[in-house]
Amino acid sequence: MAGVAEAHVIVSGRVQGVWFRGTTQRAASAAGVRGWVRNLPDRRVEAVLQGERAAVEIVIEFMRTGPPGSAVIDCVVSWRPVGERYHGFDIRY
């Protein structure tokens, strides 16, 4: 997948129960980014974002702030080689 970047993102703070996953899915779909997002048992949110690097960075910037009602404390981004190829953007449970 030439030109495709992949980022693993962990977000902490008040990021569950505030529709963080749904709004991340919306932001990713609007930017043409594929991958997934899910809640973690420790109340953080995890995501894998895949697409053109500029588009992935747009979604990361959204995740650094989150939707109304959220309070992001930290957003850790790890760029990595593209692994599994995703089609669409899913909320995982």
Domains of the chain: 16-86 (3.30.70.100)
Alpha-carbon span 10 to 93, nearest angstrom: 16
Query: pLDDT digit string (tens) for 38-53?
Result: 999 999 999 999 999 9
> Average pLDDT in the 19-38 region?
99
Q: In what order do the strands lie in the sheet with 89-92?
A: 71-80, 4-14, 45-52, 34-39, 89-92
* Amino acid letter, residue 69: G
Q: Band of the pLDDT at 1, cuts 50, 70, 90?
A: very low
pLDDT, position 2: 59
The tens digit of pLDDT for each residue in 62-88 reads 999 999 999 999 999 999 999 889 999
Q: Is the pLDDT of residue 5 over 90?
A: yes
Q: What percent of the chain has pLDDT over 70?
A: 98
For residue 21, indicate whether it is catalytic.
Answer: yes
Contact predicate 81/6, CB 8 Å: yes
pTM attached to this predicted model: 0.95
Residue from 39, 44, 85, 92 carrying the catalytic annotation? 39
Q: Residue 3: its pLDDT value, please? A: 85
